[in-house]
Amino acid sequence: MIKNVISPEFNEEGRALRRVRSFVRRQGRLTPRQEQALEKQWPIFGIEYQPEPIDFSQVFGRNAPVVLEIGFGMGASLVTMAKNSPENNYFGIEVHAPGVGACLASAQEENISNLRVMCHDAIEVLNHMIPDNSLQMVQLFFPDPWHKARHNKRRIVQVPFAELILTKLAPNGVFHMATDWEPYAEHMLEVMTSVDGYQNLSETQDYVPRPETRPVTKFEQRGHRLGHGVWDLMFKRVK
């Protein structure tokens, strides 16, 4: 779970390929709480990477709408949503082990059973593990904006990514994004508008008010105090 966040790829000569990543791997130290959660809760709620589709009904032990969150950080909002909407199954992907541990610890404390997590590259998981037409919603909250121009190519929201998400959403499923970096919000809007098969749920064809279903995190509250804005985008699959 900790070591294999990225599956290596090699060329015909056997040399490792370098791929553009939307994240930087920061291992960080585990707190005793996080370490204990990984040890005890991962075997129950953790999903190991495998290059083949998974059966959500088997993974969760029931049939229910599946909400996928990519990059859940420390898991505070993900756990809150899972607690507030027990009718849904929540599936979270995060590459940083401390965040996975914190999420599992919080889920245990809240006695939540409708949550599963992975510690792996989300692009690989989407390509190889998530069945097509299987997700009710995909959530991407406050991804790294890579604000320097030379790093913009690392932003996860690009046309190929939006097209991939479209194939994984069920008909009428929704891709919900949020960012506190206005240039990235504009970039997201441009990308999503260019991809055929999505409908912008904004009445003004740009951004939507924060849905009540997205909890306000401590990070976001701090931003509000500092006068930072937050932009939510919601696009529905219509084809």
- In the chain, where the domains are located: 30-235
- What is the distance between the alpha carbons of residues 81 and 90, in angstroms, rounded to a whole number? 8
Catalytic option among 55, 132, 144, 206? 144
pLDDT at 115: 98
Query: Can you tell me the distance from the alpha carbon of 13 to that of 181, in angstroms, rounded to the nearest whole number?
Result: 41
> Is 144 annotated in the active site?
yes
| In the chain, alpha helices (H) | 32-45, 56-60, 76-84, 97-109, 122-128, 159-168, 182-194, 218-225
- Provide the token pair at 137: 């919603």
The reply, when asked if residue 220 is annotated as ligand binding, is yes
| Number of other CB atoms surrounding residue 238 within 10 Å | 11
Give the CATH fold of the 30-235 domain.
Rossmann fold (3.40.50)
The pLDDT of residue 208: 98
Backbone torsions φ then ψ of 49, nearest 5 degrees: -70, 135
Tokens 């990984």 found at = 38
**132 assigned to a ligand binding site:** no
List, for the chain, all residue ranges whose pLDDT scores fall below the cut of 70: 1-27, 149, 151
Q: Is 218 annotated as a binding residue?
A: yes
Tokens of 88: 């849904």
